[in-house]
Amino acid sequence: MDLVVPIKRLGAAKTRLRGVVADDDHARLVLALLLDTVTAAARADGVGRILVVCEDKRVPDALSGTGVECVDERGLPGLNAALAFGADRLRTPNGTVGALQADLPALRPAELAAAIAEAAGRRAFCADRPGTGTTLLLAAPGQPLEPRFGVGSAAAHAATGAVPVGAGLPSLRCDVDTSEDLAVAAGLGLGPATRRFGA
Ligand SMILES: Nc1nc2c(ncn2[C@@H]2O[C@H](COP(=O)(O)OP(=O)(O)OP(=O)(O)O)[C@@H](O)[C@H]2O)c(=O)[nH]1
Ligand SMILES: C=C(OP(=O)(O)O)C(=O)O
């Protein structure tokens, strides 16, 4: 199972988190969320390659030495295009590709592994905490990702035949879009990079 993780230009990312830290530190907070997410994902059983698709040179710099791959590809028309681009790079004839959100700083490797095991080779998605968004999308083996991220993506992914997984996996469901989400993630236990911000 190989995963693509998208992150847009750091200055434009996570606008709903603006103000949680000083403006000068915003990009570093976005990077910390990403680092904690991919570091945990890399330790999950069943995960092979992780490819971050970014639009900012600071991202590959921050990931260097982690074993997580990164491609800086500007000008893709939005999130689903970035995901499809990354997934096409990872796809092999019988391999499985997935998409993981970049803002899961409390992610526990065992919870990601459990969601992958629960999918058991089926096209699957994990809904975020409110149940409307998606934190993880898994294609069936050998199949394209066909991402439908955006508002209402949980229902959109279900409509593509993906089965819901991970309902009882809080760290996988806890994406951080707002300061309230960050407080919930802190309650679950933040990864070390995000913890440094004192959330
Ligand atoms: N590479 C790439 N990543 C993207 C693109 N659009 C969104 N993303 C990333 O996809 C994830 C979800 O994006 P959004 O929900 O649109 O925005 P956000 O950055 O989470 O935050 P808000 O500004 O608060 O909505 C985030 O990790 C984004 O950085 C894109 O065009 N290219
Ligand atoms: C894009 C999505 O998420 P968010 O807005 O939480 O980043 C989504 O859940 O499809």
Domains, the chain, in order of start with CATH, read: 2-195 (3.90.550.10)
Determine if residue 153 is labeled as part of a ligand binding site: yes
CA 111 centroid distance within chain: 13
Supply the ipTM of this predicted assembly: 0.97
* Gap between the Cα atoms of 160 and 134, Å rounded: 13
Question: What pLDDT, on the 0 to 100 scale, is given for residue 197?
Answer: 86
* Nearest-ligand number for the alpha carbon of 132: 2
Residue range 145-190, pLDDT digits in tens: 999 999 999 999 999 999 999 999 999 999 999 999 999 999 999 9
> Rounded CA gap, 183 and 134, in Å?
19
The pTM is what?
A: 0.98
pLDDT 10s digits, 25-75:
999 999 999 999 999 999 999 999 999 999 999 999 999 999 999 999 999
**Cβ proximity of 141 and 1 under 8 Å:** no
Burial class (CB in 10 A: 0-12, 13-18, 19+), 57: exposed
pLDDT at 179: 96
d(CA 122, CA 124): 6
Instruction: Tell me, using a 6 A CB cutoff, whether residue 96 lines ligand 2.
Output: no
Mutate which of 4, 8, 37, 128 for ligand 1? The one with the most ligand atoms within 8 Å of its CB, which is 8
